[in-house]
Amino acid sequence: QSALTQPPSVSGSPGQSVTISCTGTSSDVGDYNRFSWYQQPPGTAPKLMIYEVSNRPSGVPDRFSGSKSGNTASLTISGLQAEDEADYYCSLHTSSSTVIFGGGTKVTVL
């Protein structure tokens, strides 16, 4: 089974940019556009922020962007705001039709 590795935490000051990486261990990661990203503020349900590596659902600010290089997907938050403080999870849909999540990254706005 694939695994996704995220840094436990990242931080930045308001207005700065932060990038969260998500590295996969199998060939699933390199194929297609199977990555998605979720934001989870404390005490709330997760919210889809990015799908198919780099697509933003309606209503998600354009300061959130996604990309992929090789086996690593990345979520970048540009112009960090206090409301962006939350846990962020990457997710991969595997070629076995299962879904795996990364361990999560806590974003702190200093």
Partner 1 sequence: QVQLQESGPGLVKASQTLSLSCTVSGASVSNGGYYWSWIRQHPGKGLEWIGYIYDSGSTYYNPSLESRATISADTSKNQFSLKLNSVTAADTAVYYCARAHCSSISCYIGDWGQGTLVTVSS
Site map (CB under 8 A) of partner 1, residues 37-76, x = contact: -x-x----xxxx--xx----x-------------------
Cα–Cα distance measured from residue 62 to residue 68, given in angstroms and rounded to the nearest whole number:
17
Q: How far apart are CA 70 and CA 51, in angstroms?
A: 17
For partner 1, the closer of residues 24 and 34 by Cβ is 34
Among 7, 12, 61, 103, binds partner 1 (CB under 8 A): 103
- How many residues touch partner 1 under the rule CB under 8 A: the total is 25
Q: Which is nearer to partner 1, 24 or 104 (CB)?
A: 104
Closest approach, Cβ 45 to partner 1, in A, equals 4
Q: How far is the CB of 46 from partner 1 (least distance, A)?
A: 6
Q: Would you say 38 and 56 are in contact if contact means Cβ atoms under 8 Å apart?
A: no
Residues 16-35 that bind partner 1 (CB under 8 A): 32-34
Asked if 58 and 72 touch (Cβ cutoff 8 Å), the reply is: no
Let me know: does 49 contact 63? Beta carbons within 8 Å. no
* Tokens at 39, concatenated: 């934001």
